[in-house]
Structure 1
Amino acid sequence: MFLIREFKFDAAHNLTSYKGKCERLHGHTYKLVVKLQGEPDNEGMIIDFVELKRIVEEKVLKKFDHSYINEIIPQPTAENIAEYIFKELSEALKRENCSLYEVEVWETESCGVIYRGEKSCS
């Protein structure tokens, strides 16, 4: 079973190792989707949505919302942002009955990345 919660944050960045318009400073309203995989506990929940919100706000949104992401991640592509967020949340969301399955980071309505904690390219 999967549990999903969606968040939004506004932030600016520029891609310093990229040649094109995204190398200039610009911003996005990012959509972050956090997905956990697990089984309901004795209360019938994988995790309380309130607890999930608190953890994501503490570990991610407090750092990223209205920030210049380059101060957190040197080359803040959607891919690198998703990997960073996954690593920030993974341990905090580990429970006996569930764990973090994936995060989605959307820069626009049509451009996003899904990261599941593994690197598949060699």
Structure 2
Amino acid sequence: MSKIRITKQFSFETGHALYGYDGKCKNVHGHSYKLSVTVIGTPITNRNDVKFGMVIDFSDLKKIVKEEIVDIFDHATVFNETTPHIELANELKERGHHVILVDYQPTSENMVIDFAHKIKKRLPDSIALHSLKLQETDTSFAEWYASDNL
């Protein structure tokens, strides 16, 4: 049976700041992120399975990505917990804002690595994460490929 790749796209709004950066992104700002999640597997051949013919039900993939990423990162502000931004993060939290503290600089590159780890641990054994594309703006994105990370 052939291996098939399927892709589901997601969008979410997230703010961040890059501590120590030498450009505008050192300031708190936000993006309308677009995340494309591509998995690879073999379509189910059991005719008695309700998922017959599917690699994975799009709704099952959606549930994983929403729970691990979209529902957490949407309308949140992400800061590196190991920088002085922690003071700003704590102030925002005290005022009721949704803040996520991570142990990395919250660039698209590092976020896509984090997202890959979160998604991979939730996929069924028969399905592999093939790639992620995290689009930060209309012209800028980071990509993660399993084949690059063996």
1:103 matched to 2:106:
no
1:32 matched to 2:35:
yes
Q: Is the 8 A contact 1:94 1:100 kept in 2?
A: no
The two structures, once aligned, show a CA RMSD in angstroms of 1.5
In the alignment, what sits opposite 1:52? 61
1:64 matched to 2:73:
yes
Give the secondary structure class of the aligned counterpart of 1:95: coil
Which amino acid in structure 2 is aligned with residue 49 of structure 1? F
If the length of structure 1 is used for normalisation, what is the TM-score?
A: 0.90
Gaps of 5+ in 1: none
If the length of structure 2 is used for normalisation, what is the TM-score?
A: 0.74
Q: Which has the higher contact order (CA 8 A, sep 6+)?
A: 1
In the alignment, what sits opposite 1:114? 143
Gaps of 5+ in 2: 46-51, 80-99
How far, CA to CA, are the matches of 1:103 and 1:72 in structure 2?
A: 22
**Displacement after TM superposition at 1:91 (Å):** 1.6
1:86 matched to 2:89:
no
Once the two structures are aligned, what percentage of the paired residues are identical?
A: 33
Which amino acid in structure 2 is aligned with residue 66 of structure 1? H
Which amino acid in structure 1 is aligned with residue 128 of structure 2? S
Larger radius of gyration: 2
**Displacement after TM superposition at 1:12 (Å):** 0.2
**Displacement after TM superposition at 1:119 (Å):** 5.1
Question: Could you list the per-position Cα deviations for residues 60-97 of structure 1 after superposition, in whole angstroms to 9, with x for gaps in the alignment?
Answer: 1121000012233341000000000000000211332x
**Displacement after TM superposition at 1:39 (Å):** 1.2
Tell me the matched-pair count: 119
**Displacement after TM superposition at 1:37 (Å):** 1.1
